[in-house]
Amino acid sequence: MNKIVFFISIFFFSILVKAQENSFIPQPESVVFTSGGFHLNSDTKVYVPSKYITDLQSIVTSELAKDTGLDISIHKGKTKVNSNYILFQKVKDASIDPEGYVLEISTEKIIIKAKDYAGLFNGFQTLRQAIPVGANGATAIPSMMVTDNPRFHWRGVLLDVSRHFQTKAFVLKQIDVLSSYKINIFHLHLTDDQGWRIEIKKYPNLTKKGAWRADRTGIAWWSREHATADEPKTVGGFYTQEDLKDIIAYAKTRNVEIIPEIDVPAHSKALIAAYPHLFCYDEVPEGVNFEVAVGGKAPDNALCAGKETTYEFLEDVIKEVAALFPSNYLHIGGDECNKSNWKKCPHCQKVKEDNNLKDEEELQSYFIQRMHKIVTAQNKTMIGWDEVLSGNGVKGATIMAWRRGKHTPELQAPREGYPTIMTSYLHSYISRVQGPTIMEPEGPNSVLPLSVVYNHEPVPEELTPEEARLVLGNQASLWGEFTPTEEHFEYMLYPRTLASAEVSWSNPKVKNWERFQHALETSHFERLKRENVNVAKSLFTVYPAFGIDQLHSKAIVYLETEAVGYDIYYTTNGDDPTIKATKYEGDFTATPKSLLKAGLFNKTGDLLGEITEVRLK
């Protein structure tokens, strides 16, 4: 019997030693390991405050069963045992911020302390990550003290469900996964040129016609011909209001707030297809297409800014949306408006003249300010993309700053007093491919590697401390032009949303790229696999660059990867590389037109990613 106890002890000790690696994502403020560990087993009891038992019970039960296979009993109120328990404890502690927590794991008990439900939920997610990956049945969790508070209280992900509709079940799955990484904002881009995805009871044609488009499956997004009026419209879908209530309720128990976006005045081709009278002209000009866009460019996609019926219609829509979503925020878009029709429209020009507006930029401000009044009348805070700053702006709104370069909304918005959410297209638009363009699925011809997302700093150093306090947080945005399937959608989401989660939650002083990469490799790729998530491994891809020296008839080749700690091996004779091939030590020369193949390998000779293949010509 003593030998059995001894071997069990040795077994659990080995698990603890292996588990005492800081593989949390996002990285907490402080993690201090202590000796020993907690033995989680079927006799462990969980105690939850009575106030939160309804919401937490099913989550804790299902997630622990998923993580360990154990059926753990949940009880409400105070503990009634002296050991082998997990306690969720609501406390008054000035050192714990909203959504923050303290996690104490000892040999006898586990305590999660927080001042609110969100903090208890977040602490539980960290506890789940402390459970050794692959646990099955009784398992040891290393003893530690974790103290943690969020850097930002806006930690968002945008899901574009307009370009390609995603089912309710799929959205719920993403809420499950991303909330486990402390993402707390789901921004649903519900309307655009290619589809209207939300039921509006007063205007049924929005979903009867606006939610469906002609099939162009298999044709590159930017090469698609416009739909004709007589061809079938079979691609699409929409959420009923009951669907959205289910999503909102599900998200709430996982500390996720759903932010709806109704994108106007541009990106409105599906809306105009459903209700053409909202377009600029009373008589439709020849050549104007009023079908839901199928992809590519969508001309004539801006609502009329001069017709009063436009604002009456949008007020009805916003009233229904505001009543449905409990969030204090409502996003109205306001981006990328082509104003060419406004310049020719008699209704728009009359409004411009009547209101002494000097140009169409001020006419857009007029439109946005009308929208702001509509939104605030529903006791909501209006969010707009940073184009709403143009013209006369819209005081009282919150800005999503996405443009960079010629436009600097990341500086302009907070300097002008606007609460600002950073969603830089250079660092956070995860619709961009994440590896060499020759290796990735269809997407924009630009690369946003995982390391660039991770190393992003959302608060510009040019801001004063007072201006920096207006930065509400950070958001990754997945635009849906190139994500027609659930598998592709997830491929683009993961693991870059995990990097964004750490940017949004963790103090920059505790961030470290090498630690983050190691955490993915040793724990989180496996955890996501267990959740049946399709994860990109582009992190391990080799990037090739070469030039042809015509004078000396040679190719000069340079190879790089964003992953650290591994070696690149390559061939130029067409063979697949192994660790017996040539190890990359620096740029080298090769024969022009030869076939270069390169891969990233660990010390034991395992190929970590796909083999990069390129003809040197």
What is the dihedral angle through the alpha carbons of 94, 99, 100, 101, rounded to the nearest 10 degrees?
A: 100
12 C-beta neighbours (distance < 10 Å), count: 18
Q: Tell me whether residue 192 is one of the annotated catalytic residues.
A: yes
In the three-class reduction of DSSP (H, G, I as helix; E, B as strand; rest coil), residue 462 is classed as coil
- DSSP characters over 542-582: PEEEEEEETTTTEEEEEEE-S--S-EEEEESBSPPP-TTSE
Among 164, 187, 189, 267, the active-site one is 267
Asked whether the beta carbons of 156 and 476 are under 8 A apart, the reply is yes
Write out the H or E segment, with its range, that includes residue 18: helix 2-19
Phi/psi at 491 (5° precision) = -55, -40
Among 43, 93, 282, 336, the active-site one is 336
384 - beta bridge partners?
Answer: 399
Q: Tell me whether residue 267 is one of the annotated catalytic residues.
A: yes
Q: How far is CA 332 from CA 237, 335, 387, in A?
A: 21, 9, 11
381 - beta bridge partners?
Answer: 329
Q: How far apart are CA 289 and CA 542, in angstroms?
A: 45
- DSSP characters over 108-166: SEEEEEESSHHHHHHHHHHHHHHSPTT--SSEEEEEEEEEE--S-SEEEEEEE-SSS--
Distance of CA 87 to the CA centre of its chain: 31
What angle separates helix 496-505 from helix 486-493, to the nearest 10 degrees? 40
Q: How far is CA 375 from CA 273, 384, 513, in A?
A: 24, 11, 41
Q: How far apart are CA 333 and CA 270, in angstroms?
A: 15
DSSP letter for 178, please.
H
User: Which residue bears the tokens 């209280």?
Assistant: 153
Token pair in block for residue 100: 């923050």
Phi/psi at 240 (5° precision) = -70, 165
Q: Count of alpha carbons within 13 Å of 612, Cβ hemisphere only?
A: 27
Among 192, 193, 291, 440, the active-site one is 192
Which residues have a Cβ under 8 Å from the Cβ of 209 and sit 6 or more positions away? Answer: 233, 273, 274, 292
Q: How far is CA 377 from CA 32, 263, 322, in A?
A: 49, 18, 10
Catalytic sites, residue numbers: 192, 267, 336
